Every structure is written in C-alpha cells, then in structure tokens.
Amino acid sequence: MNTSSWARGVLAIAFLFSGAAAAPPAKPGAPASVPKPLDVPDGGLVAAGKAPELELLYTGDVIGYLEDCGCKLNPAGGLAKRAWLVNQLKTNYPQTPLVLLDSGNFADNPSEIGDLRTAALLDFMAKLGYKVVNVGERDLTLGYDDFIQRTKDLKMDFISTNIVKQGSKSTVFPPYAIVEVKGTSGKPVKIGVMGVIRYSPVWQKAGPAGDNLGVAGPEEMVQLVLSEVRAKSDIVVLLAAVSKEDAHDIAKSAPQIDFILGSYGGIYNTLEESEGPVRILYTGNQGKRIGESRIDLDAKRRVADVTSYMHFLTARFPDDKAMAAAVADAKAKIGGPAAADAKPAEALKPIGATPAPGGH
C-alpha cells in the first residue's frame, strides 16, 4: 500500500467514525419517510378510490398554449386533454367539488396573434371552471390597464399578494380570494388562496392612475395577510410563480399554509414534496401537466389526508371532443389550421385506474 492509499484509508475510517458519532440513533420501529410517486397506479389515467371531500386541480406557466407543446418527443398538453380529465373526474365523483387554480403566466407573447391566443385560453379556462388565477409577470407585459381590459368580463378571481404600487406595500389586485364550495359530505369547505411572483427590485410595469407597479418580497407580503386568510379558511393555498427554493423558504416561514402550488422554469414534481406540514407541488409549463390533489378533512375542518397525482397529458389521454372542436374553431379565427371533422362530445362513463400504453 502506498502512502496516499494509506492516507485515504485512514481518512475514510475517521469520516465513518465521526459521522456515526454525529448522527442521532434512529428511533426503534420508526419507518423511513419515503416520498410517494405522483403517477396514477398501474399506468392508469384516472385513479380509483373513494370520493374525497374535495379536489384541487392546478396548472401554471401555460404561456398561451391551446394545444399540445409540439415537442418532437412525447408531445403533451392541450385544453382538450385537460378538459377530458376534468370531465372524467366529474363523472367519477359527481358529488365532489373540483376547485381549479392557476399559478399564473398564462399569457402568450404580446403580438396580435399572441393576444388572440391569450384571450381564447382565458375564455376556455373560465368555461372549464377555473376559480382563482395568480397574476404572473408575463400577464402584465402591457401593463395594468391592458390586463384589466382583457380580464374584466371573466368569471375568475385574479389575485396577487405581492404585486404592489411601486415603493409601497399597497397591493393593486386582491391579495387573496376565498372560494367556498359544498364538499362531498354536504358541509361547506372554504379554500383561501393567495398568489405570489418572484421578487425583483428592478421589475416595474405601468400601473393604475399613472402609478407604476412593483413587486414586494413574497415572504413578507404573505405574512401580512396569512393570519386573516387562515382564520377564514379550512384550507390555505399559495399559488407560486417562484423558484422551488423560494417556495421552501416561504413554507418555512409560513407553516400555516397547507399547499404551495407552483410553476417556474419548467420544473415539475414526480414525487410528493413538503417543507414541514406544507405540501409543495410544481406542474411544469406549457400546459403539459395538471396536478390533482384529493383532500379529506378532519372533524375540525382541517386537512387530514391528501393523495396527489401529476397527470402528464400525452397521447395516452383522450381529447374531449367538444373542447377539441372549440379550440379548432378558435384557431381558425386566429389564423391557425383548424382540426377537420370535429365530432360532438361523447358521454363519459366512470372509470378507475385503467391501464394505458406508454409512460411518462
């Protein structure tokens, strides 16, 4: 054995002993915490199981995509597949409320065609039943007045907890929304929803009445309203157009949040993830994925049990024919190619975890 090999061996032994001394002994019988995968079991499209008290469905960073991403390998996404999933869940669980949320940055590029695609996307989101949308940076590219004009007739709540009048902490959108639904049990469920974008000291856009918009720190602004939201809600959700690292920082400072549902930089979850009691789920971009969380509440109307899935909307998923026809019609008006021979929607039958070919 040469000197260097001997030295490496001594260092390795020393490291092992020091690590063993530093690590606390495991509690007898304590199972290791292993994150669960977010795939539907057995390669299915929709998971089987009893009806939960309610469901959250969530997207983000769709950036104007009406159809699939156009990727050469495994193209995914599109409103027609998203609508199929929503309608199938309604069919499987007719008494269970579905609460659809979006973490923002839905807007296409600010061009004539891009603006038409954005308008069509928002219209379809409203028809799908989206309740609350976080206002993203892209969505304000042309300023506050343009945004208000484009969204004024839509039956969705557009919120932002940390877009403010520049140089202040005065929010310009509602900082949160409370969504109330009747749960599967027949009891009311209140979901408090906040929304944040990443902090940038240089970001500014034209605001209302000649003011400029700025962005304040997400953690600080969440803290300003969190107690109020928690007091009004059974479930607290933060829609987050921030990095995953920032989401974890927010969760550390705000354990009263139940879910952080985010989209940023194309990152998406394949496994369950949490920071303390806060569940963190990211859905990627371009509408390729939609997250699903099935939630049950305890006797105090707090989150007791959650099962989540991340649906990767590849060709394995059927199209909802009515939505496919509507998208084709919208594309024809915008100037894109329309789908030929669109047929009316077919009635859906309840399904469980039906195996399907292909994979994620």
pLDDT in tens, the chain (360 residues): 443 444 444 344 343 333 333 334 444 444 457 899 999 999 999 999 999 999 999 999 999 999 999 999 999 999 999 999 999 999 999 999 999 999 999 999 999 999 999 999 999 999 999 999 999 999 999 999 999 999 999 999 999 999 999 999 999 999 999 999 999 999 999 999 999 999 999 999 999 999 999 999 999 999 999 999 999 999 999 999 999 999 999 999 999 999 999 999 999 999 999 999 999 999 999 999 999 999 999 999 999 999 999 999 999 999 999 999 999 999 999 984 443 333 333 444 555 433 333 333
Judging by DSSP bridges, how do beta strands 289-297 and 303-312 pair with one another?
antiparallel
Return the structure tokens found at 181.
């639904």
- For residue 94, report the phi and psi dihedrals to the nearest 5 degrees: -65, -20
Q: What pLDDT is attached to residue 119? A: 97
Q: How far apart are CA 53 and CA 45, in angstroms?
A: 21
Name the residue with tokens 């004009």.
Answer: 149
**The whole model's pTM is what?**
0.87
* 3-class state of residue 56 by DSSP: strand
Residue whose pair of structure tokens reads 């199972």 in the numeric block: 31
Host H or E run for residue 297? strand 289-297
Work out whether the CA dihedral 347, 349, 350, 356 comes out positive or negative.
Answer: negative
Q: Strand, coil or helix: what is 107?
A: coil
Helix H or strand E segment including 27: none
150-209 confidence digits (pLDDT tens): 999 999 999 999 999 999 999 999 999 999 999 999 999 999 999 999 999 999 999 999
Q: Which of 75, 82, 176, 88 is nearest to 125 (CA)?
A: 82
Q: Which two tokens stand for residue 212?
A: 């400029």
Q: Return left, alpha or beta for 63; rule: phi > 0 is left, psi -120 to 50 is alpha, else beta.
A: left
How far is Cα 217 from Cα 246, in angstroms, rounded to an integer?
A: 10
Report the greatest alpha carbon distance in the chain: 79
Q: In what order do the strands lie in the sheet with 278-282?
A: 176-182, 188-197, 235-241, 259-262, 278-282, 274-275
State both tokens at 342: 């669109």
Main-chain dihedrals φ then ψ at residue 46, nearest 5 degrees: -135, 130
CA distances from 5 to 16, 30, 189, 307 (A): 17, 38, 65, 50
Report CA Rg, the chain.
Answer: 23
Quick one: what percent of the chain has pLDDT higher than 90? 83
